[in-house]
Each structure stands twice: as C-alpha cells, then as structure tokens.
Amino acid sequence: MNPQCARCGKVVYPTEKVNCLDKYWHKGCFHCEVCKMALNMNNYKGYEKKPYCNAHYPKQSFTTVADTPENLRLKQQSELQSQVKYKRDFEESKGRGFSIVTDTPELQRLKRTQEQISNKFISKRIQHFCSRHLHDSYWKDYSEFQGIYILFNTRGHWQIPS
C-alpha cells in the first residue's frame, strides 16, 4: 500500500515519492510553505515538520515580557528591596570606620629597604653639604620636619642644606 502525500492527501507512488521530515510528499507538493518555490533534498529547511526555502525559514526569536501592571509592580518592589538592603548594609558599616590591613612580611621588608636607602642618601647629602661648607665637627645633628632636613650646629643654629 502506498502512503498519502502530506500536502494534498493523495496517494504517492514510488516514482514521484519524496521522503522528508518524517512524511511522504509528491515532488510537486514538496515546496516552500510561504513562496511555493519547489524544493529538493539539498535546498530545503524544515521547521515544525514543514518545508521552507532558505529565505522564508522562520527565525528563532526570543519573546519579550510585556510591561503589564503586575510586572511593573514586581519590578518596582524588587528595586525597593534592593535599596533597603544597600541602605541597611551602609548603616551597619557606618560606625565601624576603616579596617587596617597589616603589611605582609614582603611589604615590610620593602619598606625597611626603602628607608635604609633613603637614610643613606640623606646622610650622604648632609655629609656633602658639611664637607663643602663647614668643618664636620661644627654640625651636631640633623632632623626632618615635614620632609625638609634641618642641620643643627653646636651653637644651636640651624640651616637647610641645598
């Protein structure tokens, strides 16, 4: 017994049979659902068990959620809850202040090295100033004030090295 055509419902004989999309078709009935272009096994695209040409193949598109009053209310409610949470977190952390992070051993080593290099540079600069301008025993000490180094002599006078 010969099957029936999926389009016209008539009997499909083996000489004109196209078996595609789990159905049987007459060669003339196997055409695009939209433009009726004749299709074959090489140029058809199936969608929901129906043949389409490449130009009319239905595109998969995502549905959008309509802005119904209920959806708008839910959106507003979730925004309010989010703001409440952020405000609560802010209020909780308000009195805490900042937490101090302890330096790692590597960072402490780098700071010590930088201080040593800085102190050596300052000492050399002060020694160079002293040897250039006055006798070494004239200068008693030096001090730092807001990043400026000040030399003190034995008589209580001071000078900023250039």
Query: Does residue 30 surpass a pLDDT of 70?
Result: yes
**How far is CA 84 from its chain centroid?**
26
Q: What are phi and psi of 87, to 5 degrees?
A: -65, -40
Write out pLDDT tens, residues 55-66. Answer: 999 887 666 667
The three-class DSSP label of residue 161 is: coil
pLDDT value for 60? 74
Nearest to 130 by CA among 140, 116, 120: 140
Q: What are phi and psi of 153, to 5 degrees?
A: -100, 180
- Tell me which of 161 and 81 has the higher pLDDT: 81
- Distance of alpha carbon 136 from alpha carbon 140, whole angstroms: 9
pTM: 0.38
